[in-house]
Amino acid sequence: MKFKKHFTPQEANDLLPQIKRIVQLVLSISREYYALSNKVETIGGNARLEGLQTEFQNFVRELESIGCIYKGVGTDSALVDFPSVISDEEVFLCWKSDEDRISYFHPIETGFAGREEIPEDEYE
């Protein structure tokens, strides 16, 4: 197994309010960062851009400390993966920021394109 911590679908869904809050902050920071970076010539030396980078990194580390993995998609949505084990295989439970709950997983190697619905018996 590659990961020390694994989440059941229920554990991951129980954490979702906290994860959503953090991801909304990350997306807000990303939007501000890209808007500002389009207006300045260089990022280096711009205190606000550097501050936004630090904030972004701190929130991503916070997600990692919980045990999940932030997969940035852009400024409007994000993906978060939660290491899990389904049918004796290490996989990622996969949540997209516009989804109400975690309902999908994918093999680690395939990524988002390999998403499948989590079998109902995994919620027990």
Residue 2 in domain = no
- Mean of per-residue pLDDT scores for the chain: 91
Residue 3 in domain = no
- Given this model, what pLDDT does residue 23 score? 96
Q: How far apart are the C-alpha atoms of 19 and 80, rounded to whole Å?
A: 9
pLDDT digits (tens, 9 = 90+) for 47-90: 888 899 999 999 999 999 999 999 986 778 899 999 999 999 99
- pLDDT tier for residue 124 given thresholds of 50, 70 and 90: low
Residue 1 in domain = no
Residue 101 in domain = yes
Q: State which residues form the domain around 17.
A: 9-123
> Model pTM greater than 0.75?
yes
Number of domains in the chain: 1
Q: How far separated are the first and last CA of the chain, in Å rounded? A: 22
- Given this model, what pLDDT does residue 90 score? 96
Which single residue is written with the structure tokens 């980078």? 53
Residue 117 in domain = yes
Q: DSSP letter at 62?
A: H
